[in-house]
């Protein structure tokens, strides 16, 4: 079982994405535990302050170090954590490989930034890795955190109805998945490729491999360049 603790100043943003579909099934099946912590519970004073103006005069509020330090220290006193992740637009771009690695861990903390960002000392002394879901800025780290959790949990054996389906996803072998079809075999004059109706596993597999390569070459040629750089083609 993997335990994921998510730290946020707006935890209600995570209610829906983490309580439906595959993630809900994984929690109900005791495959994962997900706990959402309100950083404001560790804030200062009557108003549970968690942000303040930054030194240097730049505009925007910054998440304070003390509340984040308190909650992370509390959790670390209760158990060991394999990773303490900060969702940041300047972090390492999330890939299937990263999701695969994280799905094998036992305990993870995910910190969601907000406002202009977090006191940099948190990143220097408390965070073990930083992850981005793209080269753009959002209002907070909650949506990226939900994306990361989904990418991890669906890989846990038993989370999906068909445990082998995750292995055939796009990016598992660093190229895109082939086209997929279902019934009816013909609709509005549009036909499913004959090879998929042939019942010949060898031909189907060969067709899928060719289609995967062609789709990757057309839609994501950068992936093929990365593979070529590793000597894998």
Q: Would you list the domain boundaries of the chain?
A: 2-153, 170-229
CA atoms within 13 A on the CB side of 101: 8
User: pLDDT band at 230, cuts 50/70/90?
Assistant: low
Query: Which comes out higher in pLDDT, residue 44 or 149?
Result: 149
Residue 95 and residue 119 in contact, taking contact as beta carbons nearer than 8 Å: no
Average pLDDT value over all residues in the chain: 92
Name the DSSP letter for residue 194: G
* Average pLDDT, integer, range 127-147: 97
Residue-wise pLDDT tens digits, 35-81:
999 999 999 999 999 999 999 988 899 999 999 999 999 999 999 99
pLDDT at 231: 45
C-alpha angle with apex 167: 165 to 173, nearest 5 degrees?
145
pLDDT at 233: 42
Residues paired with 103 in a beta bridge: none
- The two tokens of residue 166 are 């995750």
Q: Is the pLDDT of residue 137 over 70?
A: yes
Distances (CA, A) of 143 to 11, 186, 232: 11, 39, 34
pTM, full prediction: 0.88
* Average pLDDT, integer, range 171-178: 79
* Average pLDDT, integer, range 205-213: 96
C-alpha angle with apex 200: 196 to 203, nearest 5 degrees?
75
pLDDT at 58: 84
* Average pLDDT, integer, range 192-198: 97
> For residue 117, is it left (φ>0), alpha (ψ between -120 and 50) or beta?
left
- The CATH number of the domain covering residues in 170-229: 1.10.1270.20
Cβ neighbours of residue 107 under 8 Å, at least 6 residues apart? Answer: 2, 3, 5, 79, 80, 81, 82
Q: Is the pLDDT of residue 170 over 70?
A: no
Q: What percent of the chain has pLDDT over 90?
A: 85
92 CB neighbour count, 10 Å cutoff: 12
Residue-wise pLDDT tens digits, 80-120:
999 999 999 999 999 999 999 999 999 999 999 999 999 99
* Average pLDDT, integer, range 14-27: 96
Kindly tell me the sign of the dihedral angle through the C-alpha atoms of 78, 80, 86, 87: negative
- The CATH number of the domain covering residues in 2-153: 3.40.1280.10
* Average pLDDT, integer, range 3-11: 98
Q: Is the pLDDT of residue 163 over 60?
A: no
Tokens 């998929």 belong to: 196
Cα separation, 193 vs 185, in Å, equals 9
């Amino acid at each position: 079982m993997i335990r994921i603790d998510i730290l946020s100043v707006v935890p209600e943003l995570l209610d829906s994405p983490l309580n439906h579909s595959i993630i809900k099934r994984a929690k109900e099946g005791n495959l994962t535990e997900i706990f959402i912590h309100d950083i404001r519970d560790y804030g200062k004073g009557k108003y549970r302050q968690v942000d303040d103006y930054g030194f240097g005069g730049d505009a925007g509020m910054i998440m304070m170090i003390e509340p984040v330090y308190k909650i992370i220290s509390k959790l670390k006193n209760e158990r060991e954590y394999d990773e303490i992740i900060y969702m940041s637009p300047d972090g390492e771009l999330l890939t299937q490989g990263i999701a695969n690695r994280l799905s094998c861990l036992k305990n993870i903390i995910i910190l969601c930034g907000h406002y202009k960002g977090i006191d940099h000392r948190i990143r220097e002394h408390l965070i073990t890795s930083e992850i981005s879901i793209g080269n753009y800025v959002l209002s907070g780290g909650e949506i990226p955190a939900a994306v990361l959790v989904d990418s991890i949990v669906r890989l846990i054996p038993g989370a999906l109805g068909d445990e082998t389906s995750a292995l055939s996803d796009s990016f598992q072998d660093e190229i895109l998945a082939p086209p997929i079809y279902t019934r009816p075999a013909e609709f509005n004059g549009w036909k499913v490729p004959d090879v998929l109706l042939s019942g010949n596993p060898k031909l189907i597999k060969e067709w899928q491999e060719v289609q995967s390569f062609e789709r990757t070459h057309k839609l994501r040629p950068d992936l093929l360049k990365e593979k070529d750089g590793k000597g894998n083609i």
